[in-house]
Amino acid sequence: MKAILVLQDGTAFEGESIGAAGRTLGEVVFDTAMVGYQQCLTDPSLRGQILAFTYPLIGNYGTNAEDFESTRCQAAGLVVREVCEVPSNFRLEGSLGDFLQEHGLVGIAGIDTRALTRRLRTVGVMMGGISTEDTPEELLRRIEESPSYAEIDLVDQVSTPTPYEWQPEIEAGKAQPRIDFEDRLKIVCLDYGMRAGILRNLYDIGCRPIVMPCRTTADQVLEEKPDGVVLSPGPGDPARLGYAMDTVRGLLGKAPIFGICLGNHMLTHALGGKTFKLKFGHRGGNHPVKDLVTGRVKITAQNHGYATDPATLEGSGARVTQINLNDQTVEGLDHEDLRAFSIQYHAEASPGPLDSRGIFKQFVDRIREPKRWSEIVPDVS
């Protein structure tokens, strides 16, 4: 079946349909990762976005039930050069094509993804659509009539509706004896688009993760008497999330805080800073980040379209601790007095670079030994 991809500027590509038939609209972005396509498609941070992979062959190891970052497919659509139709892997449970059909995801293959990527890098990411039933002119009209990515509160769409206590058997769907949490740190995780990898990492280092909805207030968080608070990643324009900023502002100085990706932006705004939209974002598993405390460089996985403006944090007491070596944007903040720090990349990326995985232990160490906040413990993972 034929399919078309149309960008908001009128650029059009014709290819073959993969996945479900129909139409989908969203912000078209590109990702340079070579693996991890199932994690990407189920990442809540991709809500409302059509994902294009720059790597030419996607799907060669298939899909399985263990590689979900959330309970469903989150991306609005998929664009690839070629889909592997005969995957091979010892964990294989189904093909990427089967996965797309099962989750009703509209996609397109067989287009020049290099030309698409160059267009997005030159002009910037923009709204677009994939369709098996429209002409390019009809699809362009629908794109022009649709709300832009930045106009929608996507966090509300992906956040949990009710609080829950995370345990491994919940994720795996297996009946296991309840685990004694008496000696574990109680960590409230504010869900702006929670990834399963974050909860696994917290659990593995002795934490008891309690996931709460994005509109939870500071008072509701503090009623849980948490040892610490994690601000999760998530989709959309951080400047729209006034309710989340108010919550983080109300928690500053009252509980240790660790923000990841969108959580970094929420900390930025809570401290009085601002964020701005990047031309084409950071998406992939090969982004170099320099730790300004140690001078070390790590390779990180990233998936975001906005960045912190460091000039707007002057006088806030926050310190920029890490930067992206590709464009010098902020990759980490630390506020000693308020016991809050954050990173812009995904330390929990799975699969992905493991250079930064030790940041979770750093958070736990800072909670258990408060003096470490004043020391600005470097990430030595």
Which string of DSSP letters, residue by residue, matches 162-204? Answer: S-EE--HHHHHT---PPPP-TTSEEEEEE-SS--HHHHHHHHH
Q: What is the dihedral of CA 34, 39, 42, 44, to 10 degrees?
A: -90
User: What tokens does 270 get?
Assistant: 């809570």
Cα–Cα dist 136/336, whole Å = 54
At position 30, the amino acid (one-letter code) is: F
Cα–Cα dist 356/261, whole Å = 13
331 is catalytic: no
261 is catalytic: yes
Integer CA distances (angstroms), 180 to 177, 199, 207, 232, 341, in order: 9, 17, 11, 25, 29
Going by DSSP bridges, is the β-strand pair 82-83/185-190 parallel, antiparallel, or unpaired?
A: unpaired
User: What tokens does 163 get?
Assistant: 């609080």
Q: Which of 189, 207, 261, 331 is catalytic?
A: 261
How many Cα atoms occupy the beta-carbon half-sphere of 19 within 13 Å?
30
Tokens 């990173």 identify what position? Answer: 343
For the chain, helix (H) and strand (E) counts, in that order, are 12, 19
Cα–Cα dist 45/197, whole Å = 13
Which string of DSSP letters, residue by residue, matches 116-169? Answer: HHHHHHHH--EEEEEESSS-HHHHHHHHHHSPPGGGS--HHHHS-SS-EE--HH
Cα–Cα dist 25/139, whole Å = 9
Q: Which of 92, 341, 348 is nearest to 209 (CA)?
A: 348
- CB count within 10 Å of CB 132 equals 19
User: What tokens does 123 get?
Assistant: 């002009």
Q: Which of 27, 69, 331, 348 is catalytic?
A: 348
| Rg (alpha carbons) of the chain, rounded to whole number | 20
348 is catalytic: yes
Q: Where are the beta strands (DSSP E) in 235-314?
A: 257-260, 274-291, 297-309
- The residues assigned a catalytic role are 261, 346, 348
